[in-house]
Amino acid sequence: MSEYAKRGLDELQLGHLRHFDNLSRQLPNDWSLMKGRGVGQDDFGGYRFQLSYMAYALALTHYHRLPAAPAVFQPIFKRLIEKLLLPEVWMYWHNVSRGGSVFNAHLAGKYKEEWDPVGRDNIMYSAYVQSLTLLYDYLFDDHFYAEPGSLTFRHWSYFWGGDAKEFKYDQNSLNEHLYSLMVKSGYIGVACEPNCVFQICNQPAILGFRLHDLLHGGDRASQVTREYEAAWKEFGRTGENGHYHIMLSEDSRIARQNGAPYAWVDAWLGTLMNMWNRDFVKENYPTQVKDYLVEADAGLLSVKSVARPSIKGETVVNDDCDFGWVAAWASEMGDAKTLAGLMAYADRFFAPTWQNGGLYYPRNDTEFDEYGNRLLVEPQTGNVLLGYARLNVPDGLWALYNKPWSRDRFATPAVREVADDVEISQAYFDAEEATLHLRVRRLENRRGTGSVAIGPMEKGRSWTFSCDARQLASGAGAEITQASSDEIAVSENMLVFPSSYGASHSFRFKIQ
């Protein structure tokens, strides 16, 4: 059992989880706290990225820190996926699909308006739908998105657009489709905007291929990464300055170097590519990251950003999220000193805010204060990435990718149901002790029944259940032979018990 699971979550980490939960519960098309500076959801702070990296953060926290609490994460995860499928998230594509950007202006007129958001290109959206739905299945043994048509992209407007646009997929058909696009590209990757293959946006698809292998067998992820590496040898991963290439133009076969350099490029790609190319990523990290770090007082660290360029007389306005991505990168690299410096800076200068029990750093468009301290906070950084960095562990994505959980975990005792007003800060099953360890607190500012259900109960096996070392119940299988309260019961092969307000309490369910 990992040290992180035994340690559980602290108050700040719990605050980030609660903020993710709060955002997931907002009504459809209520994007409060999530709108960034860009227009049209086509930049790096778009809703699709915020939703996806909240879900990735949940997966990492479940895997590393609360492995025996699937009920804490599954409802939030599913709500985030459902939001990811909303038209407001993907409607940018019917404009972006036509091309005409600064990277593909020479192809203007070649591409027609496309409504299907996963049909061609747009890997910057489709790979997240693919990887998150497969991750949901893998983590929770729930095959909801494997059903035909479970991933339906649909939009109809009373005011414009004619008939409804509707495109039906599921996690497996989408996975096959993205694989076919990867093969068709010669394994250089699938484009985001037409003709523009970003290294970053193909990494989630690779995670999806790996998850599909874990669910259904095969070794497609290894085949894809092997061919992907071979294809990119023609261009190299990095430019002359040692920083990762931003993208590749499909028609000219020219890689666009990260000449500025932009922090988000190295940090985002390094965070993700560590999954399957760890030695290479860690070899480049020290020299890359030093170009972005800015030392402040008392060991605090900030991040240097490059001014947004002016193109055709227009200043580019979008959310690069440099600070947040460097923090996430440091967390994945296990660079504890850099991560601590960045988080301390955020806590001092980014106005950490608690709302409805959740912790976040509110959007701030002011770049610097009068003393030159960075103040800029984009929603992706303040809502998601700083929480992701605080919840992640060294090589967090690498372990998720390379050290798969056994399916036996679905048969061992864990938190299978939990009321909305209950907070779980520790949950792991110690196989040697045959004991489920929990730390539980009931929250006064949320509605709920205060109940927790653990299971499954193994037939014929004796057990004891205690709170803070005081035995509350005992029994065998699904039968209770002694209980201190009528509120402790067995229902549907799970032991159900109440939690109490105030401080957290430690519970132990021990199999004899």
Tell me: the pLDDT tens digits for 420-458? Answer: 999 999 999 999 999 999 999 999 989 999 999 999 999
pLDDT of residue 101: 80
Q: What is the pLDDT of residues 189-199, one digit of tens each?
A: 999 999 999 99
Reported as a pLDDT band with limits 50, 70 and 90, residue 109 is confident
Three-state SS string over 270-331 comes to HHHHCCCCHHHHHHHHHHHHCCCEEECHHHCEEECCCCCCEECCEECCCCCCHHHHHHHHHH
CB of 2 within 8 A of CB of 64? yes
- Residue 109 or 500, more confident: 500
Between 111-115, 315-319, 366-370, the lowest mean confidence (pLDDT) is in 315-319
Between strands 151-155 and 165-169, the pairing is antiparallel
Read off the amino acid at residue 6: K
pLDDT of residue 374: 97
Read off the amino acid at residue 184: K
Residue 315: how many other CB atoms lie within 10 Å = 9
Which neighbouring-strand residues pair with 497?
A: 452
pLDDT of residue 219: 97
Between strands 489-491 and 505-511, the pairing is unpaired
pLDDT of residue 110: 86
Q: What is the DSSP letter of 381?
A: I
Residue 10: CB partners within 8 Å, gap ≥ 6?
425
> What value does the mean pLDDT take over residues 464-474?
97
Q: For the chain, what are the domain ranges?
A: 9-84+282-406, 108-135+145-259, 413-511
Residue 149 in 3-state DSSP? coil
Instruction: With 0.95 as the threshold, say if the pTM is over it.
Output: yes
Q: What is the DSSP letter of 321?
A: -
Host H or E run for residue 399:
helix 396-402
Reported as a pLDDT band with limits 50, 70 and 90, residue 35 is very high
For residues 228 and 185, give the distance between their C-alpha atoms in angstroms, rounded to a whole number: 10
Reported as a pLDDT band with limits 50, 70 and 90, residue 310 is confident
Read off the amino acid at residue 61: T
Which neighbouring-strand residues pair with 464?
A: 474, 510
Residue 291 in 3-state DSSP? coil
CB of 441 within 8 A of CB of 427? no
Exposed (0-12), middle (13-18) or buried (19+): which is 105, by Cβ within 10 Å? exposed
Token output for 470: 């005081």
For residues 68 and 91, give the distance between their C-alpha atoms in angstroms, rounded to a whole number: 38
Reported for 489-494, long-range contacts at CB under 8 A and 24+ positions apart, including other chains, are: 490/457, 491/453, 492/455, 493/455, 493/456, 493/457, 494/416, 494/417, 494/453, 494/454, 494/455, 494/456, 494/457
Reported as a pLDDT band with limits 50, 70 and 90, residue 103 is confident
Between strands 314-315 and 414-418, the pairing is unpaired
Token output for 297: 């007082």
Planar angle of CA 262, 52, 213, nearest 5 degrees? 105
CB of 18 within 8 A of CB of 356? yes
Read off the amino acid at residue 385: L
pLDDT of residue 11: 98
Residue 476: how many other CB atoms lie within 10 Å = 15
Spacing of C-alpha 170 from chain mean position: 20
Between strands 422-430 and 314-315, the pairing is unpaired
CB of 5 within 8 A of CB of 64? yes
pLDDT of residue 307: 85
Which neighbouring-strand residues pair with 436?
A: 429, 509
Q: How many CA atoms, within 13 angstroms, populate the side-chain half-sphere of residue 462? A: 4
Token output for 75: 């409802």
Residue 265: CB partners within 8 Å, gap ≥ 6?
200, 243, 244, 246, 258
Token output for 326: 């460097």
For residues 239 and 257, give the distance between their C-alpha atoms in angstroms, rounded to a whole number: 6
Indicate if the alpha-carbon torsion angle 54, 207, 79, 449 is positive or negative.
Answer: negative
Inform me whether the pLDDT recorded for 43 exceeds 80.
yes
> What value does the mean pLDDT take over residues 317-331?
96
